[in-house]
Amino acid sequence: MINLHGYGPSILEGTLLTIAVSLAALALAMLLGIAGALGKLSGSLSMRIAAQTYTTIIRGIPDLVLMLLVFFGGQVLINQLAPLVGYEDYIDINPFIAGVSTIGFIFGAYMTETFRGAILAVPRGQIEAAYAYGMRRGQMFRRILMPQMIRHAIPGFGNNWLVLVKTTALVSIIGLDDMVRKASLAAGATRLPFTFYLVVAFNYLIITSISVYLLRWLETRYSAGVIKA
Amino acid sequence: MDLSIIFDNIGIYLEGLKTTAWLVSLSLLLGLLLAVPLAVLRTAQAYAIQAPIRAYVYFFRGTPLLVQMFIVYYGFGQFDVIKTSFVWPLFKEAWFCALFTFTLNTGAYTTEILRGAIEATPHGEIEAAKAAGMSRLLMLRRIVLPSAFRRALPQYSNEIIFMLHGSSLASVITLVDITGAARIINSRFYSPYEAFLTAAVFYMALTFMIVFLVKRLEGRWFAHLRPQETSRG
C-alpha cells in the first residue's frame, strides 16, 4: 500500500468535496439543460436565439477562462452592486459558489444539446396522441415525453457527467479545497508530488468507473420493453 | 469597461496567441502521429498488444488534464532516476511538460476516435482488398486508413476544439498563453472583465476558425458523396 504520510484523511475530505461540487453542478446543469432544450425547441424566435447564443458562446470559450471570469469578475460585480442596495462591507465571493455555478453553467450548454436530441427522438405521434387524449402540457411532459426521453438522453448525459467530474479539478485553481488542492498541499509538505497526484488520478478513475457502472444499470432499466434489433 | 488597458497591452495577448497556437498545433500533430499506429494496434487480435493500449487510453481519458499535467510537471522531479538522466533539462521546463502532457492526452482521445473509425470499415472493402491480393500494410494504407480518417473527421474536429480549450491549463504552470496573458493583465490592473473577456474573444475567434477550416476540409474529403448534379435534357 502507498504511504500517504497521514494525509489520507485530508485527501478523502477533498474527494468528498469534489463529489459535492460535481453533484451540485450537475443539478444546475440539468435545470439549465432542460430550460435550454425547451428554449431551442420553442415556437418563439427570441427564445430560440437566446438558447442558441448560450450554447454557442459556452462551446467557444475554455472552462478555465469562464471560471476565472466568474470568480474575479463576479467579485468586482458584487462589490460594485452591493453599495447600491446599501451594503457597505467588502464581499468575498465564495469559491464553492463560483465553481459550482461556472461548471453548472458550462455543462448546462452541453446538457441542452443532449436533451434537445432526446426530446426530438420521441416520436411526434406519441405527443399528438397525448394531446388527443386531452392531456395538458404538463401532464404530457410528465407521462409521455419524460419517461421516453430519459432513455435517449442517458448516453449523452453519461458522457457529460464524466467530463463534468474531470472539469471539477479546475476549482482547485480558484482556491477550493477539492482533492487536487489537497494533493498539492500534501505534496508541498512531503515533497512527494508524484505519489499524491497519482492517488488523486486513481480517485478520479474510481469515481468514473462507478459512474459508468451505474449509468449502464440506469440505461438497462429505462430500456426495458425496447426490442433491440 | 476600460478597453484602453487592452489596446495598450495587446502585445502580451499576441505573444499569448503565439504560445497557444504552437502548443496546440504541435501537440495535435504529435498526438495524431502517436494515435495512428496505436489505433491500428488496438484493433489487433492479440490481447497482449491490446491491453497496454487500452490501459493508456483508459488512464488519460479517465483523469483530468490538470492532474496529468501536475504529475508530469511537479511529479517527475520526485525521482532521482529522472532528475539525473539526460531528459531532465527538458522535463524541468514548463513548456515541455505542457507539450508532453497535451500530446499524450490528445493521443489517447484520438486513438479511441480512430479505433471506432477503423472498426466501422465495411467488411466488403477489406474482403475486396484481400481478393485483390493486397498485403496487410498496403490494405491499411490504401483502403482502411483513408476511409477511417474520413469517418473520424467530424469527431476529430471536436477533439481539436477540446485541445484548444484544454491548452488554457498551460497558464497554471506559468506559461503565458492567451489565458496566461489575461491573468497577467488581471493581476496588473485588477480588471477581470477586460482581461478575461478579451481572452474569451480570442478563443472564440480561434474556435470559429477551426470549425470553418474543418467544414472546408469535409467539403473536399466528402466531395464524392455529394449528390451529383444531373443535366436535364
DSSP notation for chain B: --THHHHHTHHHHHHHHHHHHHHHHHHHHHHHHHHHHHHHHHTSS-HHHHHHHHHHHHHHHHS-HHHHHHIIIIIGGG-HHHHTSTTHHHHTSHHHHHHHHHHHHHHHHHHHHHHHHHHTS-HHHHHHHHHTT--HHHHIIIIIHHHHHHHHHHHHHHHHHHHHHHGGGGGGGT--SHHHHHHHHHHHH--HHHHHHHHHHHHHHHHHHHHHHHHHHHHHHTGGGSPPP----
Q: What is the pLDDT of residue A228?
A: 65
* Distance between CA atoms of residues A165 and B175, nearest Å: 25
Grid coordinates standing for A55? 450554447
Q: Is the pLDDT of residue A92 over 80?
A: no
Q: Average of pLDDT values for A146-151? A: 87
Nearest Cβ partner for A65 among B63, B66, B200? B200
Using CB atoms within 10 Å of the CB of residue B15, give its burial: 0 to 12 exposed, 13 to 18 middle, 19+ buried.
middle
Q: What is the pLDDT of residue A19?
A: 95
Q: What is the pLDDT of residue A151?
A: 86
Average pLDDT, chain A: 90
B183 and A184: CB-CB below 8 Å?
A: no
Q: What is the pLDDT of residue A89?
A: 77
Convert the pLDDT of each residue in A26-67 to its tens digit. 999 999 999 999 899 888 899 999 999 999 998 899 999 999
What is the model's pTM?
0.90
Instruction: Specify the CATH class of A8-90+99-220 in words.
Output: mainly alpha
CA distance A59 to chain B (A): 8
CA distance A140 to chain B (A): 35
CA distance B147 to chain A (A): 26
Angle subtended at Cα A119 by Cα A42 and Cα A41, rounded to the nearest 5 degrees? 15
Domain boundaries along the sequence of chain A: 8-90+99-220
CATH number of B4-221: 1.10.3720.10
Nearest Cβ partner for A73 among B166, B196, B203? B196
* Helical H segments across chain A, by residue range: 8-40, 45-60, 63-68, 74-81, 95-121, 124-132, 137-140, 146-167, 179-190, 193-222
On whether the CB atoms of residues A159 and A24 are closer than 8 A, the answer is: no
Q: Is the pLDDT of residue A6 over 90?
A: no
A199/B92: higher pLDDT: A199
Q: Average of pLDDT values for A139-153? A: 89
* pLDDT above 90 as % of chain A: 60
B70 and A195: CB-CB below 8 Å?
A: no
Nearest Cβ partner for A194 among B63, B71, B172? B71
Q: Average of pLDDT values for A145-155? A: 88
Low-confidence stretches of chain B (pLDDT < 70) are 231-233
CA distance B70 to chain A (A): 7
φ, ψ for residue A50, nearest 5 deg: -60, -45
* Distance between CA atoms of residues B233 and B218, nearest Å: 31
B196 and A69: CB-CB below 8 Å?
A: yes
Scan for cell 427570441, then name that residue. A46
Q: What is the pLDDT of residue B85?
A: 86
Q: Residues 146 to 205 of B: which have CB under 8 A from any A CB?
A: 161, 164-169, 171-172, 179, 182-183, 186, 190, 192-193, 196-197, 199-200, 203-204
Grid coordinates standing for B83? 532528475
Q: Is the pLDDT of residue A1 over 60?
A: no
Best probe of the A interface among B13, B63, B159, by most A CBs < 10 A, is B63
